[in-house]
Structure formats: C-alpha cells, structure tokens
C-alpha cells in the first residue's frame, strides 16, 4: 500500500471510533474504553505503516498528496479533501497516535467510575481525529478544518464535567481564544492566496518564491496572522490564558491535549509553513521573541502556583515556548525533536499527577499534599523521571532535545543568540519549579491522605467538592465520578506510565550530536529547500556538546536551589514571600494577563453590547425609527382602522397609494 | 412538467388537506407537501449546471397591454433555494402536525399559500410578477403572527406589516418605473422580464434611484441593521414553524433579489453603491453580534445571529467577485438549514424549561437529554460556522471575495466570526450545561421533535462533508449575474446589451474604484 493509503486509514479508525462510541453510547458501557483505545491503537499501526512505506520511497519522492473529492472548488478556490503525507506529517501522526493510545489506555482506569464514560471516549477519539486531520491536511482549508476541530474537541473535553461552572467557563474561554486563532489562520490564508491563487500547500510553496519578494508586506502579514493562530493554539503570550484554566478537564485530557498534542499544533504549523516563513524573516523574529517571552513568563508563574496541575500547565506553556522559538528561528528538526520528547515526559508527568490527585480524593492543591514518597512509590518514580527529563538533566530525553534548540539559536547569532541565552534562564526556572513541585508533594511530613494510604486505605471524599470553588457537587452525569484511582493499583495506568517513562529516558537517544541524527535525517527530505535547515546553520558537534554541558549544569543548579529552599530549610519559601510581597503578588496574579484582557477586551465588548441593546436598539431603532415610521403611518391610517377594516385592506389601499405615486412620477417626468 | 405545477401545488394541496377531518389536517398537509418536495428534487436532478441561462422556462404574455409576462424559470441562482423552500416547508408542516393547532384548516392553508408565494418569488422572471409574489408572501405571515402568535402579537404584526409595506411600495414603484423607463429610453415595447431588462440598460441616474428603492425593500426584508426594527417582535411572536420558514427562506428572497435582479439590471448603480452596501452589511454584522451576546432570550439570540449571517451574505453579494457571490449563495442554503434547525431546537429546549425562552430559566438540560444536547451542539457549531461545516466554506468564500475588493472590510468582518463563537456557545452552555435551572424538567428528545430536527441535522452533516454540492450548480449563473456589475456596467459582455452612459462614466471618479 502507498503511504497515502495508510494516511487515510490513520484518519479512518478514529472516525469509526468516534461514530461507533457516539451512536451507541448507551449500549457500550465500559466497553467504550476498549473500543476507543483499539481505534487509536489501530491508527498508530497505520501510522507505522505510513512510516515504513514512506521510507521505502526515494528521498525526493517523499512528498505525496492524495485527494478524495472536491471540497470547495468554485470562484478560484481549489480546496479538495486532501492529505499530504511527507516526513513532517508522518512524524506528527506517529507522535500523536502513539501518545494518544497510551492516554486512552490510562483513561480506561482513570475514568472508570465516571457516569460519562462513553461520552468521554467519543470525545477523546474525536479529538485524536481532529489532530490527525490537522497534521495530515494537504491544503490550507483542511488545515483550518483540523485546527478548528481540535479547538472544538478541546472545548468539549475541558467542559467535560459540564455541570461545574468553572469547567464551562474554562471551556468557552478556550474555544473563543481558539476561534481567534482560526480567524488568524483564515486571514493569513487570504494574504497568501491573493498572490499564489491556490490553497494547496505544495502549490503555494512552489509559487511563493516567485510571487513574494523577500519580506514583502503581504507575506509578512500572512505569516504574522499564521502566528496568531499558532499562539492561540499553543498558548503563547498573550493568547495563553485559556491553558491554565483548561486544567478543569479530567487529568488524562490535560495530559493528551494540553501537553502532548494540541498545544504542539502551533509548532507544527510553523514547520509545515516553513517555505513561507523562510521568505519572511521578520515574522520568524516575532515568533521567536514571543516564544522566548512566553517561556520566561510561564516559568516565573509556575514558581508560585499552588495547583499541581497548573504548575505542569505553565511548564507546558514554557516548554512550547522553546519549540515556537526554535521553529521560528529555523531549528525545525530540533523543535520537532523537543515536541516529541516533551510529549513523552509531559504526558507522563500529568499521568503521575492524576495518580496523586486520585490519592488526594480529587484535591489538586500543592498546599495540602506532602510526603507521598512512600505511599505512592511507582508514581514517585515516574514523577522523578519526568521531572528530570523536564529539567534537562542527562541522560534524559529533555536534555538532548531542549539543548538542541538552544545550540541552534546560539549558532545563528544576532538576536537569536540573546534568545538562546534567555533560554538558559528558562532552564534554570524549569529545574526550580519542577522540583519545587516534587519536593512539596513527595517529601516532608506525610499528609493525612498519604499516611492512610501507607496503611492501604485510599482516601475518598465524603462530600465531593469542586477544588476551585469549594462548592459541593454530586456524582451524577456532568460531575467527576465518585471513586478515585491511583496508578499503583491499576494495571492499565501502570502500563501506560511505564512505557512513557521508558520513552522519556531513551527518547532522546534518537538524536545525539556526533553520534546519530535519526530525526534530522528523517525530516531532511521535507526540509530540502530550506536554507535555514541546511548544514551550514547547524551547530558543530563541539558547540552542541558545550551547550549540552551548560544546559545540564544549569538544570542541576535549578534543582539544587529547589532542594535548598524546600528540603534543607523548609521555611525559606514563606520568608521569601514575606520579603518580596509585590513580586509574589505579581506572579500569583499571573502577570495580570487575565485582568488586562478583561479590561481591554471583555468589558468593552459587553458594554458595547449593552449599549446596543439598551440605548440604541430600544431608544433609537424601536422608539425613534420604528416609532416614527409606524406612528406616522398609524395616524394616517387611523380612520381606516377605526372602521374595522383590518390591515389587509389598509395594505391594499396603501398599494394603490403607491401606484398613484408612480403614476405621478411619470406624469411629472414626461412633461 | 411545467413549473406552474410546482408553483400552485402547495396551495392546492393545502386546500385538499383542509377537506380532511380536523384531526388529520396536519398530517395530511405534511404528507402532501412531500409531493412538491419530490418535484423540486426532480428539478434539481434534471438541472444542467453547464447552462448559465434559464432552464425549464414557462413564459406566457399575461397582460399584453402592459407587457407583463407570466414567466417562471429555474437557474443556477434559484435552484438550491427552491429545493430549500420545499424542504423547510415540509419540515415545518411535520413539526406542526405533531402538535395541537387551533383552527388547523386556516393554519395549514396559510402555510400552503406562503409556500406558493415564496416559490413564486424565487422562480419569477418578470419584475411585476416578482413584486406580486414578494408582497403576497406577507399576507399568510400576517395571519400566522396575528392569529397563532404569542405575546404582543398585535404590536408585532403592525410593525412587520408597516415596515415591509413601506419597502414594498418603493419596490413596486421602482419595478414599474424600471420597465417604463427602459422601454422609453430604448424605444421598445413595454417589458418587465429580467432577461429583457438586462439588455435594456437604464441611464446612470435612473439606475441609482431604482437601485435605492429595491435596496430599501430588500434590506427591510432580510433584514439588515438598521432596518431591523420589526424583527425582534415579529420573530418573538411567530409560531416556531412559521419563524423557521420565515428566517429560513423568506429572508432569502430579499438576498436572492439582490443577486438575481439588482446586480444584473442595475449594474452601474450596484457598482456605484458597492461600498455603501458593504458598510451596511458590516455594520449589521457587528450590531447583530453585539445584540446576540447581550440578549437574554434564546429565540432572539438565533434571530440576531441570522441578522449577522444575512450581513455576511450581503457582504458576499456586494463583493462583486464570483468567489464572494458563490459563497453568498452557498451561505443562503446553509443558513436556511441551520437557522430553521436552531429555532426548532430552541422550541425543544423551551419545552423543557417550563415553556420559557429566557436563558435565566434554563440550564443543565443536557444532563437528562444527552441526545438533544448532541443535536444542539452540532447545530451550534454549524451556526458559528466552525470549519468543517458547510457554513464555514460559505463564510470563507464570502470573506475571500470581500478581501480581494475591500481588504479592511473583510478583516473587520472577522470580528463577527469571533463574536458568533461567543454568542452561539453561550446559548448552548446556558441552556444545556451548568447547574440545572429552577424550572427545568429535563427529558430526552421526543419523536415530535426528532421529526423536524433530524432531517435538518442530516443535511448539515452531509453538506459539511461535501459543501461542493452547494457550489456545483451555480458557478456559471453566478458569473453571468455579477459580470456587468463587477465591471461597473461598462464591459459590454452581454450580446445585444446597449450601454447608455458608459462614455460619461469614469471609473476613476467613483468612490469604489480606488
């Protein structure tokens, strides 16, 4: 079979899964989990099939498109239902389906007592389908379709527990910001289409060098609008505020969407559109600067957040910042490499977090967790592996991939070198906040829940409460299930986490400077025409190794600071907060981004709406215009109405009146 | 088979249905309405998309002394709308037939009359005939609101009739004037058929006046802000099946009028007023969006969202690009389906909130009605034109068309896209999610609701996978319809067309050509 056939099959299985689970949601019961997992696993198998067949093709023939039918083809638009199978998309489908399979497996246990079990798996399958459409789409329209589907699926999963108001609010926020991103993508497409007259990727890329000058206005505008889409989806400043709130969804969802797949779409977008970004270096610089700013801002916020899942969420933002920075600068293979390793260790961290939250009976507050080291040995081990990979310590995967990006930036020079150095600052913050989280949750005096668990009792909340508002909740449909689970007691969770832990350790070995370059070599046919991806821009092995050593040292320093603050002298954090209240407040309020958006966008639009409704529509249109017109006609027709003739006759009379006006016009105009 | 049969059948069949015993009138009317639907689909199947002209023409000189023809035809511009009309009427009748209706015989007669009038307006190829059908449409709806409406229905009817009547007079006057002036200026016999008038160009000044008169009638009927004063009361008072067809197809007659009559017959004026019309459309989008996310009434959210959608359609039409106009035609079809489905869903939701359509009384309905929630969700996504729905392709092409003429208008219009996400999702969430509302008695979707919602849902899904279906038939007709206006009426690409004022017409001096 050809790679494109495999590509269509990759899409087919999640589609079948969604439909089958969705239609029979009442019948399947617990079987829905198995069906959903099997669908994604089959999709992964097909992705491997696509990989094998693609590698069987000669290097110059590894960009294949296939279309089913005309999707929208009229008035110059030439959108087909089309996929593009090339090394970039195959790389993405492998990561997406691989990690998603494990998360589906984990969810079978994690969600087992939830009343919305089948609905959950239908959504989850739909999400994977959307993400696959996004990465396989062969033209801008397909990309936008996948892009929006991902936003919709994310909305559905964030507000999965839809009777919690915090969840529905988070859902609508995520959705609207994502729609803003869709609009960016649509407008960006218009700017490109205006010159290339095609929506297909390969057609646009081929035409771009001929129709666009270097850094021409329309191209830069288009690329910047694409970046708006990327920032919205990948939670980059200032469109990031939805991601921390998205932690309202079930933990495996955070793991799947808000770490391993959805948020990486922005990185994929830049890599996919690299032939355009290459011609618009200004847009690339903007992307890199925003990525760098995000990684620092998110890193600092993660230092003070007390919700376990949100710490990891901010860490995701920060890590995606590295990828966006790298992809914008031209480090395509490094960015995708980090995307992959990050998917492994971040999915792992979220799954481990889910296990602690299970042990805490749904409570996510770091303030209440401590000393879980003995109670949850397996979870602890996973957390340590994930934490070390995230902090970039050798030989874990995050070390090799993150420093690959920084080495490229430093090698490229100019403004990028500054960004690379700031990347090291981010690495210091990463080590610090990661181990702050680990030390607080696993070390110190065991919390009551941890103590009970050491005696074999898993805590169960007597009255389930919303961790955000403290509001009491029942356990019916639309709320979290009554029972909680920990990885130690559930085989599917254990299997999923062990596999991810193994990948988080060895995943980096795919690309070691001077040893092997599996990812770079695999991607190179797709990047053949990209000057920025040529060997001239890649750092030498020596420089790469120097970077790796610096990165490892900085990560270690970050961890030692955390060790000093939280283990050696446990009161230090409190004292720091008291000494620097302004800074602490600033960080606790997340740099006031939510407040800023509220004041600048939300309140004015609401005011406009109220003004339109209250003053203008009621006052001007209804009373003024309508009242005026109707009043005028009414007084004229009062006599007729009084005679009980009704409107029809009045209407007929008015028609005659109109006709006579017409006749009058001709009489006047003919003279 | 003549188009006259399709035209007359709905009202005749309604008369047949009224002869049944009172209990069976509704079901009889609904079943009989399948016949015109079948005929419409048959026309769709036999339609030749390669022909940009009129097909299945019925042409008889009706009033010879005034040159008025009884001329009906189908073209790429109206084929989808004719089928849509048949579908929505059948579905609305099916919905009604499952409910207790007061004085059913009259009710179903008005529905039949309305369907005939709408079909007539879509198929008419003579200005006077068109105006006749356009005005005839008002009569059954006047009764439907006045006799079967709810709330302050007297106020609603008064407003609706007066608004539309004012527009109609202007249009009638303009229609007659167009025929008279055209024949006068070209010294031919008096004629009102579209094809003839396209070849008899009016002078610039006359075109401007005629354009404005027609535009007034159509803008009120669509409606676009600030001509929408009658909308809220009328939509609020109408029975649900009536509002579904009104918003679904009656408002499309006006949009169709722009593309089928105004652009081809007054091309220079259309070109001249392009920017004005685009600005009105843009204003409408923003205004209606702001209203939709402020109002507390579920039905009005849908009502204002249709004003916004009509704004998009208007943008597409006056982009004067084939991309934009194709998008507008597709969007008319999409919007007709989605808005009707939305109104039926609002009715289903209100039935679970103790009859209230106020958002404050709703909440948490999804909890016991997951299937209804899924239906609502799909319709919501289509309504906000999420990519993957056919509505997205419509908006995409509309915006692309506008983008290539007036870039900034397209960019500002995207605010309406983001706004749509806010109000559509807000409606869904407040009705279906969050805590269960105080007056809510949630129960699963019932047969009497499924009968209307599911067919529309199926259409939404099919079109979502294959929006090309809505584009295939119209390509050549659209090109032909907009060509004269796109070139400011100066390009003489109509054989036999005499252009009167092109010499005096200098494109560089018009505000739109910069």
Tell me the chain A residues in contact with residue B326 when contact means C-beta distances shorter than 8 Å.
74-75
Q: Between A488 and A318, name the one with better pLDDT.
A: A318
Provide mean pLDDT across the span A383-393: 89
Q: Inspect the interface and report whether the beta carbons of B163 and A629 lie closer than 8 Å.
A: yes
Assess B391–A contact: CB distance below 8 Å, yes or no.
Answer: no
Helix runs in B187-259, H state only: 194-199, 204-221, 231-237, 240-245, 251-257
pLDDT of res. B499: 44
The mean pLDDT value of chain A amounts to 83
Which phi and psi (to 5°) does residue B352 adopt?
A: -95, -10
Instruction: Specify whether A262 is located in the same domain as A329.
Output: yes
Distance (Å, rounded) from C-alpha A610 to C-alpha A603? Answer: 10
Q: Inspect the interface and report whether the beta carbons of A633 and B162 lie closer than 8 Å.
A: yes
Instruction: Specify whether A329 is located in the same domain as A433.
Output: yes
Which of B270, B250, B293 shows the shortest CA–CA distance to B427? Answer: B293
Write the DSSP symbol of residue A526. Answer: G
Distance (Å, rounded) from C-alpha B444 to C-alpha A590? Answer: 43
Which of B386, B492, B390, B376 shows the shortest CA–CA distance to B427? Answer: B376
Length of chain B: 514
Token look-up 């799909």 returns B378
Token look-up 């910042």 returns A321
Distance (Å, rounded) from C-alpha B23 to C-alpha B147? Answer: 19
DSSP string, B99-154: S--SSHHHHHHHHHHHHHHHHHHHHB-BHHHHHHHHHHTHHHHHHHHHHH--SSHH
Q: Inspect the interface and report whether the beta carbons of B159 and A159 lie closer than 8 Å.
A: no
pLDDT of res. B335: 92
pLDDT of res. A634: 56
Domain that holds residue A655: 594-670
Task: Name the residue among A608, A626, A661 with its Cβ closest to that of B230.
Answer: A626
R_g (Cα) of chain B, nearest Å = 22
Provide mean pLDDT across the span A157-178: 87
Task: Name the residue among B367, B397, B434 with its Cβ closest to that of A165.
Answer: B434
CB–CB contacts below 8 A, A to B: 203
Distance (Å, rounded) from C-alpha A151 to C-alpha A185? Answer: 13
pLDDT of res. B514: 30
Smallest Cα distance from B503 to chain A, Å? 24
Q: What is the pLDDT of residues A502-526, one digit of tens each?
A: 988 888 887 887 777 888 888 888 8
Smallest Cα distance from A648 to chain B, Å? 8
Write the DSSP symbol of residue A569. Answer: S
Assess B386–A contact: CB distance below 8 Å, yes or no.
Answer: yes
Instruction: Specify whether A519 is located in the same domain as A651.
Output: no
pLDDT above 60 (res A635): no
pLDDT of res. A650: 58
SS3 A515: coil
Task: Name the residue among A172, A605, A606 with its Cβ closest to that of B425.
Answer: A172
Contact (Cβ atoms closer than 8 angstroms) between residue A381 and residue A494? no
Q: Tell me the longest C-alpha to C-alpha distance in chain A.
A: 108
Sign of CA dihedral A246, A248, A252, A253: negative
Contact (Cβ atoms closer than 8 angstroms) between residue A254 and residue A247? yes
Instruction: Specify whether A583 is located in the same domain as A614.
Output: no
Domain count along chain A: 2
Assess B443–A contact: CB distance below 8 Å, yes or no.
Answer: no
Distance (Å, rounded) from C-alpha B145 to C-alpha B237? Answer: 6
Helix axis angle, A281-302 relative to A308-329, nearest 10°?
160
Instruction: Specify whether A401 is located in the same domain as A333.
Output: yes
Assess B212–A contact: CB distance below 8 Å, yes or no.
Answer: no
Contact (Cβ atoms closer than 8 angstroms) between residue A429 and residue A391? no
Assess B392–A contact: CB distance below 8 Å, yes or no.
Answer: yes
Domain boundary among A588, A622, A638: A588
Contact (Cβ atoms closer than 8 angstroms) between residue A481 and residue A113? yes
Distance (Å, rounded) from C-alpha A267 to C-alpha B256? Answer: 44
Distance (Å, rounded) from C-alpha B460 to C-alpha B333? Answer: 10
Smallest Cα distance from A614 to chain B, Å? 9
Task: Name the residue among B159, B226, B294 with its Cβ closest to that of A610.
Answer: B294
Tell me the C-alpha to C-alpha distance, in Å, between residue B81 and each of A201, B108, B118, B257, B344.
34, 22, 10, 12, 20
Distance (Å, rounded) from C-alpha B370 to C-alpha A122? Answer: 13
Residues 6+ apart with CB under 8 A from B435: A163, A165, B363, B364
Helix axis angle, B138-148 relative to B153-186, nearest 10°?
180
Q: What is the pLDDT of residues A335-354, one digit of tens each?
A: 999 999 999 999 999 999 98
Residues within 8 A of A (CB atoms), B 265-294 only: 287, 290-291, 293-294
Assess B400–A contact: CB distance below 8 Å, yes or no.
Answer: yes
Instruction: Specify whether A571 is located in the same domain as A601.
Output: no
Q: Inspect the interface and report whether the beta carbons of B177 and A69 lie closer than 8 Å.
A: no
pLDDT of res. A184: 92
Strongest mean pLDDT among A329-333, A411-415, A638-642, B154-158: A329-333
Give pLDDT tens digits along chain B (514 positions): 588 888 888 888 888 888 888 888 888 888 888 999 999 999 888 888 888 788 888 888 888 778 888 888 888 888 899 999 999 999 999 988 888 888 888 888 888 999 999 999 999 998 888 998 888 888 888 888 888 888 788 878 887 887 888 888 888 888 888 888 888 888 888 888 888 888 888 888 888 888 888 898 898 888 887 788 788 888 888 888 999 999 989 989 999 999 989 988 888 888 888 889 999 999 889 888 888 888 888 888 999 999 999 999 999 999 888 888 888 999 999 999 999 999 999 988 888 888 788 888 887 888 788 888 889 999 999 988 888 888 888 899 999 989 988 888 888 888 888 888 888 988 898 888 887 777 778 777 788 888 888 999 999 988 888 888 878 888 888 888 888 887 765 544 444 444 444 433 333 433 343 3
Domain boundary among A588, A616, A648: A588
Helix runs in A303-331, H state only: 308-329
pLDDT above 60 (res A642): no
Q: Inspect the interface and report whether the beta carbons of B290 and A605 lie closer than 8 Å.
A: yes
pLDDT of res. A615: 64
* Number of alpha carbons in the 13 Å side-chain half-sphere of residue A206: 8
Which secondary-structure segment (H or E) carries A63? none
Provide mean pLDDT across the span A468-493: 78
Instruction: Specify whether A550 is located in the same domain as A622.
Output: no
Distance (Å, rounded) from C-alpha B26 to C-alpha A332? Answer: 65
Q: Inspect the interface and report whether the beta carbons of B177 and A612 lie closer than 8 Å.
A: no
Which ipTM score applies to this complex? 0.86
pLDDT above 70 (res A33): yes
Task: Name the residue among B170, B367, B400 with its Cβ closest to that of A77.
Answer: B400
Tell me the C-alpha to C-alpha distance, in Å, between residue B410 and each of A165, B199, B213, B406.
35, 33, 26, 7
Task: Name the residue among B387, B429, B467 with its Cβ closest to that of A144.
Answer: B387
Instruction: Specify whether A552 is located in the same domain as A617.
Output: no
Instruction: Specify whether A164 is located in the same domain as A311.
Output: yes
Cβ neighbourhood burial of B208 (10 Å; 0-12, 13-18, 19+) = middle
pLDDT of res. A270: 92
Contact (Cβ atoms closer than 8 angstroms) between residue A288 and residue A335? no
SS3 B181: helix
Banded pLDDT at A207 (limits 50, 70, 90): confident
SS3 B264: helix
pLDDT above 80 (res A611): no
Domain boundary among A588, A618, A651: A588
Q: Inspect the interface and report whether the beta carbons of B381 and A168 lie closer than 8 Å.
A: no
Residues within 8 A of A (CB atoms), B 120-149 only: 135, 138-139, 142
SS3 A476: coil
For residue A651, give both structure tokens: 């209407």
pLDDT of res. B213: 87
Contact (Cβ atoms closer than 8 angstroms) between residue B470 and residue B330? yes
Q: Which of B400, B466, B483 should one mutate to test binding to chain A, selecting the residue with the greatest count of A CBs within 10 A? A: B400
Which secondary-structure segment (H or E) carries B230? none
Q: Inspect the interface and report whether the beta carbons of B367 and A625 lie closer than 8 Å.
A: no
Which of A283, A272, A252, A294 shows the shortest CA–CA distance to A146? Answer: A272
Q: Between A527 and A324, name the one with better pLDDT.
A: A324
Q: Inspect the interface and report whether the beta carbons of B291 and A612 lie closer than 8 Å.
A: yes
Can you name the residues that pair with A77 across neighbouring β-strands?
A74
How far is C-alpha A513 from the geometric centre of its chain's CA atoms?
30
Distance (Å, rounded) from C-alpha A231 to C-alpha A233? Answer: 6
Distance (Å, rounded) from C-alpha A376 to C-alpha A384? Answer: 12
Q: Inspect the interface and report whether the beta carbons of B290 and A608 lie closer than 8 Å.
A: yes
Distance (Å, rounded) from C-alpha B244 to C-alpha B114? Answer: 13
pLDDT of res. A663: 58
Which phi and psi (to 5°) does residue B456 adopt?
A: -65, -40
Instruction: Specify whether A647 is located in the same domain as A541.
Output: no
Q: Exposure string (b/e) for B71-102, b if CB count within 10 Å is 16 or more?
A: bbbbbbbbbbbbbbbbbbbbbbbbbbbbeebe
Banded pLDDT at A58 (limits 50, 70, 90): confident
Distance (Å, rounded) from C-alpha A167 to C-alpha A419? Answer: 36
Instruction: Specify whether A632 is located in the same domain as A555.
Output: no
How far is C-alpha A647 from the geometric centre of its chain's CA atoms?
58
Residues within 8 A of A (CB atoms), B 14-73 only: none
Distance (Å, rounded) from C-alpha A263 to C-alpha A282? Answer: 23
Assess B462–A contact: CB distance below 8 Å, yes or no.
Answer: no
**Region of poorest pLDDT, from A155-159, A637-641, A649-653:** A637-641
Task: Name the residue among A73, A163, A634 with its Cβ closest to that of B435.
Answer: A163
Contact (Cβ atoms closer than 8 angstroms) between residue A428 and residue A558? yes
Contact (Cβ atoms closer than 8 angstroms) between residue B231 and residue B223? yes
Tell me the chain A residues in contact with residue B295 when contact means C-beta distances shorter than 8 Å.
613
Q: Inspect the interface and report whether the beta carbons of B468 and A69 lie closer than 8 Å.
A: yes
Residues within 8 A of A (CB atoms), B 299-358 only: 321-327
Q: What is the pTM of this model?
A: 0.87
Strand duo A516-517 + A511-512: pairing: antiparallel
Tell me the chain B residues in contact with residue A155 when contact means C-beta distances shorter than 8 Å.
425
Q: Inspect the interface and report whether the beta carbons of B172 and A657 lie closer than 8 Å.
A: no
Which phi and psi (to 5°) does residue B273 adopt?
A: -95, 10
Q: Inspect the interface and report whether the beta carbons of B226 and A625 lie closer than 8 Å.
A: yes
Token look-up 């939305």 returns B342
Tell me the chain B residues in contact with residue A648 when contact means C-beta distances shorter than 8 Å.
139, 142
Can you name the residues that pair with A511 across neighbouring β-strands?
A517
DSSP string, B449-486: HHHHHHHHHHHHHHHHH-THHHHHTTHHHHHHHHHHHH
Provide mean pLDDT across the span A536-540: 76
Cis peptide upstream of residue B223 (ω within 30 degrees of 0)? yes
Smallest Cα distance from B500 to chain A, Å? 19
Q: Which of A172, A194, A217, A609 should one mutate to test binding to chain B, selecting the residue with the greatest count of B CBs within 10 A? A: A609
Distance (Å, rounded) from C-alpha A314 to C-alpha B417? Answer: 29
Cβ neighbourhood burial of B32 (10 Å; 0-12, 13-18, 19+) = buried
Token look-up 């003919």 returns A670
Q: Exposure string (b/e) for B115-149, b if CB count within 10 Å is 16 or more?
A: bbbbbbbbbbbbbbbbbbbbbbbbbbbbbbbbebb
Instruction: Specify whether A359 is located in the same domain as A237.
Output: yes
Assess B203–A contact: CB distance below 8 Å, yes or no.
Answer: no
Residues 6+ apart with CB under 8 A from A369: A308, A356, A360, A363, A440, A441, A447, A449, A450
Distance (Å, rounded) from C-alpha A241 to C-alpha A245? Answer: 7
Q: Which of A22, A75, A189, A616 should one mutate to test binding to chain B, selecting the residue with the greatest count of B CBs within 10 A? A: A75
């Amino acid at each position: 079979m050809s790679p494109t056939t495999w590509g269509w099959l990759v899409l087919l299985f999640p589609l079948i899964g969604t439909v089958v689970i969705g239609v029979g949601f009442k019948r399947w019961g617990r079987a829905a989990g198995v069906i959903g997992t099997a669908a994604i696993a089959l999709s992964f198998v097909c992705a491997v099939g696509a990989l094998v067949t693609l590698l069987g093709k000669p290097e110059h023939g590894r960009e294949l498109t296939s279309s089913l039918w005309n999707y929208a083809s009229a008035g110059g638009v030439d959108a087909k239902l089309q996929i593009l199978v090339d090394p970039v998309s195959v790389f993405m489908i492998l990561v997406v389906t691989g990690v998603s399979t494990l998360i589906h497996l984990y969810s079978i246990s994690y969600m087992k007592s939830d009343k919305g079990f089948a609905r959950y798996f239908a959504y989850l399958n739909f999400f994977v389908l959307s993400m696959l459409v996004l990465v396989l789409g062969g033209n801008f329209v397909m990309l936008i379709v996948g892009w929006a589907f991902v936003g919709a699926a994310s909305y559905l999963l964030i507000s999965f527990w839809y009777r919690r108001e915090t969840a529905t609010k988070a859902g609508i926020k995520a959705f609207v910001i994502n729609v803003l991103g869709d609009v960016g993508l649509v407008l960006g497409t218009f700017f490109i289409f205006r010159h290339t007259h095609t929506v297909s990727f390969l057609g646009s890329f081929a035409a771009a060098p001929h129709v666009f000058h270097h850094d021409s206005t329309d191209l830069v505008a288009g690329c910047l609008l694409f970046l708006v889409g990327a920032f919205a989806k990948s939670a980059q400043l200032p469109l990031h505020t939805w991601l921390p709130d998205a932690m309202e969804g079930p933990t495996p969802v955070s793991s799947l969407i808000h770490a391993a797949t959805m948020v990486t779409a922005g990185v994929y977008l830049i890599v996919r559109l690299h032939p355009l970004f290459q011609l618009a270096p200004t847009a690339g610089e903007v992307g890199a600067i925003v990525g760098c700013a995000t990684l620092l801002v998110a890193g600092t916020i993660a230092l003070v957040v007390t919700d376990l899942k949100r710490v990891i969420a901010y860490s995701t933002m920060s890590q995606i910042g590295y990828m966006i920075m790298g992809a914008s600068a031209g480090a395509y293979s490094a960015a995708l490499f980090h995307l992959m390793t990050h998917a492994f260790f971040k999915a792992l961290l979220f799954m481990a977090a889910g296990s602690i939250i299970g042990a805490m009976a749904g409570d996510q507050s770091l303030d209440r967790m401590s000393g879980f080291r003995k109670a949850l040995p397996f979870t602890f081990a996973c957390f340590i592996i994930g934490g070390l990979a995230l902090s970039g310590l050798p030989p874990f995967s995050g070390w090799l991939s993150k420093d690959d990006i920084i080495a490229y930036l430093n090698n490229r020079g100019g403004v990028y070198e500054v960004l690379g150095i700031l990347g090291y600052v981010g690495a210091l913050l990463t080590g610090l906040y990661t181990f702050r989280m680990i030390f607080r949750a696993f070390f110190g005096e065991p919390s009551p829940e941890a103590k009970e668990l050491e005696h074999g009792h898993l805590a169960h909340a007597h009255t389930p409460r919303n961790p955000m508002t403290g509001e009491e909740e029942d356990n019916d449909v639309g709320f979290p299930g009554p029972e909680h689970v920990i990885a130690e007691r559930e085989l599917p969770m254990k299997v999923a986490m062990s596999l991810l832990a193994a990948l988080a350790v060895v995943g980096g070995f795919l690309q070691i400077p001077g040893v092997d370059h599996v990812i770079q070599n695999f991607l190179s046919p797709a990047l053949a025409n990209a000057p920025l991806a040529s060997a001239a821009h890649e750092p030498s092995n020596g420089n790469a190794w120097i970077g790796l050593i610096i990165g490892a040292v900085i990560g270690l320093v970050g961890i030692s600071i955390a060790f000093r603050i939280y283990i050696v002298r446990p009161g230090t954090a409190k004292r720091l907060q008291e000494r620097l209240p302004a800074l602490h407040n600033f960080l606790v309020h997340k740099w006031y981004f939510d407040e800023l958006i509220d004041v600048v966008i939300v309140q004015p639009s609401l005011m406009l709406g109220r003004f339109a409704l209250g003053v203008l529509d009621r006052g001007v249109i209804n009373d003024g215009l309508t009242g005026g017109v109707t009043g005028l006609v009414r007084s004229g027709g009062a006599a007729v109405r009084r005679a009980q003739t009704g409107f029809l006759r009045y209407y007929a009379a008015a028609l005659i009146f109109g006709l006579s006006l017409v006749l009058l016009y001709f009489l006047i105009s003919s003279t | 088979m003549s188009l006259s049969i399709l035209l007359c059948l709905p009202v005749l069949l309604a008369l047949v249905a009224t002869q049944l015993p009172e209990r069976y009138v509704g079901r009889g009317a609904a079943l009989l309405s399948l016949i015109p639907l079948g005929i419409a689909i048959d026309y769709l199947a036999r339609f030749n998309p390669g022909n940009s002209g009129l097909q299945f023409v019925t042409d008889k000189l009706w009033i010879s002394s005034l040159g008025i023809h009884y001329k009906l035809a189908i073209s790429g511009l109206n084929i989808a709308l004719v089928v849509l009309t048949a579908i929505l009427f059948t579905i609305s009748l099916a919905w009604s037939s499952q409910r207790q209706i007061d004085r059913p015989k009259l009710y179903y007669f008005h529905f039949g009359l309305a369907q005939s009038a709408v079909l007539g307006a879509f198929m008419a190829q003579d200005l006077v005939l068109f105006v006749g059908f356009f005005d005839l449409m008002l009569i059954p709806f006047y009764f439907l609101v006045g006799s079967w409406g709810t709330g302050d229905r007297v106020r609603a009817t008064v407003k609706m009739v007066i608004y539309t009547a004012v527009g109609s007079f202007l249009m009638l006057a303009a229609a007659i004037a167009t025929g008279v002036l055209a024949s006068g200026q070209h010294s031919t016999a008096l004629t009102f058929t579209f094809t003839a008038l396209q070849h008899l160009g009016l002078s610039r000044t006359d075109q401007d006046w005629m354009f404005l008169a027609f535009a007034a009638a159509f803008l009120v009927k669509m409606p676009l802000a600030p001509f929408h004063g009658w909308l809220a009361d009328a939509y609020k008072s109408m029975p649900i099946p009536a509002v579904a067809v009104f918003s679904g197809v009656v408002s499309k007659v006006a949009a169709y009028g722009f593309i089928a009559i105004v652009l081809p017959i007054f091309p220079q004026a259309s070109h001249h007023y392009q920017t004005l019309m685009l600005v009105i459309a843009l204003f409408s989008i923003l205004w209606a969006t702001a209203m939709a996310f402020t109002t507390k009434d579920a039905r009005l959210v849908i009502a204002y969202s249709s004003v916004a959608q009509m704004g998009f359609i208007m943008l597409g039409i006056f982009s004067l690009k084939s991309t934009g106009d194709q998008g507008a035609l597709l969007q008319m079809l999409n919007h007709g389906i989605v808005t009707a489905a939305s109104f039926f869903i609002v009715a289903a939701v209100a039935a679970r909130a103790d009859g209230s359509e106020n958002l404050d009384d709703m909440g948490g309905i999804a909890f016991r009605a997951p299937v209804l929630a899924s239906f609502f969700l799909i319709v919501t996504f289509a309504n906000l034109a999420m990519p993957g729905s056919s509505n997205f392709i419509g908006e995409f092409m509309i915006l692309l068309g506008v983008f290539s003429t007036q870039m900034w208008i397209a960019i500002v219009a995207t605010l309406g896209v983001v706004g749509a996400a806010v109000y559509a999702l807000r409606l869904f969430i407040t009705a279906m999610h969050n805590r269960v509302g105080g007056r809510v008695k949630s129960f699963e979707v019932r047969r009497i609701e499924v009968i209307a919602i599911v067919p529309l849902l199926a259409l939404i899904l099919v079109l979502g996978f294959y929006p090309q279906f809505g584009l295939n038939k119209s390509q050549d007709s659209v090109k032909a319809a907009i060509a004269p206006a796109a070139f400011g009426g100066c390009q003489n690409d109509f054989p036999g067309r005499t252009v009167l004022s092109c010499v005096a017409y200098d494109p560089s001096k018009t505000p739109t050509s910069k």
